Amino acid sequence: MANSASGDSVVDRVVRVIEAFPEGVTSLQLTELADRAGLPLSSAHRLVRQLSEHGLLDSGAGGTVRLGLRLWELVNRNSPTLALRQAAMPFMEDIQQVLNQNVNLAVLEGWEALFVERLSRRGSVANRARVAGRMPVHISSAGLALMSHQPREVQAEYLEQFQDPSGKVTAGVVRQLLADAAQQGYAQLAGVVDSDTWGIAVPVMNGKRRTVAALGVVVPLAEMRLQALVPALQTAARGIGRRLAE
Amino acid sequence: MANSASGDSVVDRVVRVIEAFPEGVTSLQLTELADRAGLPLSSAHRLVRQLSEHGLLDSGAGGTVRLGLRLWELVNRNSPTLALRQAAMPFMEDIQQVLNQNVNLAVLEGWEALFVERLSRRGSVANRARVAGRMPVHISSAGLALMSHQPREVQAEYLEQFQDPSGKVTAGVVRQLLADAAQQGYAQLAGVVDSDTWGIAVPVMNGKRRTVAALGVVVPLAEMRLQALVPALQTAARGIGRRLAE
DNA sequence: TGCCACCTTCCATTCAATGGTAGAACGTGT
DNA sequence: ACACGTTCTACCATTGAATGGAAGGTGGCA
Q: Which of A166-170, A216-220, B7-11, B237-241 has the highest mean pLDDT?
A: B237-241
Query: What confidence score (pLDDT) does residue B137 get?
Result: 97
Q: Is the pLDDT of residue B195 over 50?
A: yes
Answer yes or no: do B127 and B50 share one domain.
no
CB contact under 8 Å between B19 and A74, yes or no, is yes
Give burial (CB, 10 Å; 0-12/13-18/19+) of A62: exposed
Both B66 and B160 in one domain: the answer is no
Instruction: Give a yes or no: residue A4 inside a domain.
Output: no
Domain shared by B100 and B45, yes or no: no
What is the pLDDT at residue B97?
82
DSSP letter assigned to residue B8 = -
Q: Is residue B207 part of a domain?
A: yes
Give the residue from B82, B127, B135 with the most A CB atoms within 10 Å of its CB, the best one to mutate: B82
| Cα dihedral B124→B127→B132→B135 (10° resolution) | -160
Q: Are residues B240 and B118 in the same domain?
A: yes
Does the beta-carbon distance from A15 to B51 stay under 8 Å? yes
Which bases of chain C are under 7 A from a protein CB atom?
5-10, 13-22, 26-27
User: Which residue in A8, A10, A52, A67 has the most chain B C-beta atoms within 10 A of its own C-beta, making it the best mutation to test that interface?
Assistant: A67
For residue B35, tell me if it sits in a domain: yes
Same domain, B61 and B93: no
Contacts of B100 (CB under 8 A, 6+ apart): B121, B124
Å from the B12 CA to the C13 C1' = 24
Distance of C1' in C28 from CA in B21, Å: 28
Contact by Cβ (8 Å): A108, A158: no
Does B196 reside within a domain?
Answer: yes
Q: Are residues A112 and A125 in the same domain?
A: yes
Q: Which residue of A has its CA nearest to B67?
A: A80
**CATH label of the domain that carries residue B30:** 1.10.10.10
Same domain, yes or no: A71 and A96:
no
Mark yes or no for CB contact B76/A47 under 8 Å.
no
Q: Are residues A96 and A68 located together in one domain of the fold?
A: no
> Do both A48 and A146 map to the same domain?
no
Asked which of B75, B104, B132 is the last residue of a domain, the reply is B75
* Protein residues bordering strand D (Cβ below 7 A): A 1-6, 10, 13, 39-43, 46-47; B 1-4, 7, 9-11, 29-31, 41-42, 45, 49, 59, 62-64
Last residue of a domain, one of B48, B75, B102: B75
For B60, the domain range is 10-75
d(CA B119, CA B139): 20
pLDDT one digit per residue (tens) for chain A, 246 residues: 456 666 689 999 999 999 999 999 999 999 999 999 999 999 999 999 999 999 999 998 888 999 999 999 999 999 999 999 999 999 998 998 888 888 999 999 999 999 999 988 766 666 777 899 999 999 999 999 999 999 999 999 999 999 998 888 999 999 999 999 999 999 999 887 788 889 999 999 998 899 999 999 998 888 777 778 999 999 999 999 999 987
Residue B1's pLDDT band (cuts 50, 70, 90): very low
The CA angle B169-B173-B177, to the nearest 5 degrees, is 120
> Which of B20, B43, B75 finishes a domain?
B75
Read off the pLDDT of residues B59-85 as tens digits, 9 standing for 90 and up.
Answer: 988 889 999 999 999 999 999 999 999
Would you call A136 exposed, middle or buried from its count of C-beta atoms within 10 A (0-12, 13-18, 19+)? middle
Query: Is residue B147 located within the same domain as residue B200?
Result: yes
Percent of chain B residues past pLDDT 90, beyond the cut: 74
pLDDT of residue A6: 66
> Which pLDDT belongs to residue B222?
81
What's at A154, amino acid-wise? Answer: V
A142 close to A106: Cβ distance less than 8 angstroms: yes
**Residues A201, A233 within the same domain:** yes
Bases on strand D under 7 Å from any protein CB: 6-11, 14-22
Residue of chain A with shortest Cα separation from B17: A74
Residue A159: CATH number of its domain: 3.30.450.40
pLDDT of residue B123: 63
For chain B, give me the number of helices (H) and strands (E)? 9, 9
Judged by CB atoms closer than 8 Å, whether chains meet at A69 and B107 is answered as yes
CA dist list (Å): B70 to A67, A116, B23, B29, B52: 15, 12, 19, 20, 10
Q: With beta carbons less than 8 A apart as the criterion, state whether A194 and A128 touch.
A: yes
Dihedrals phi, psi of A205, to nearest 5 degrees: -110, 140
Measuring CA to CA, which residue among A84, A132, A45 is closest to residue B73? A132
Pick B67's closest partner by Cβ from A12, A79, A132.
A79
* DSSP 8-state code for residue A42: H
B65 and A25 Cβ atoms separated by less than 8 Å: no
SS3 state of residue A132: coil
CA of A46 to C1' of C11 (A): 14
Maximum alpha-carbon separation in chain B: 67
Reported as a pLDDT band with limits 50, 70 and 90, residue B20 is very high
Number of A:B CB contacts under 8 A? 138
Note the residue count of chain A. Answer: 246
Spatial CA neighbour of B57 closest among B77, B33, B39: B33
Q: Which nucleotide is nearest to B5 (CA to C1')?
A: C18
Residue in chain A closest to B134 (alpha carbons) equals A73
The answer to the question of residue A25 being in a domain is yes
- Whether B2 is covered by a domain: the verdict is no
Tens-place pLDDT, residues B90-120: 999 899 888 878 899 999 999 999 999 998 8
Q: Are residues B43 and B99 both part of a single domain? A: no
Separation of alpha carbons B93 and B78, rounded Å? 23
Sign of CA dihedral A53, A59, A65, A67: negative
The tally of domains found in chain A comes to 2
Q: Which sign, positive or negative, has the C-alpha torsion A81, B117, B199, B159? A: negative
Examine residue B101 and state whether it is found in any structural domain, yes or no: yes
Percent of chain B with pLDDT over 70: 95
Sheet holding A27-29, edge to edge: A27-29, A64-67, A57-59
Give B35 CA → D1 C1' in Å.
Answer: 35
**Span B217-229, average pLDDT:** 82
Q: What protein residues sit with their CB closer than 7 Å to strand C?
A: A 1-4, 7, 9-11, 29-31, 41-42, 45-46, 49, 59, 62-64; B 1-6, 10, 13, 39-43, 46-47, 62
The answer to whether position B142 is within a domain reads yes
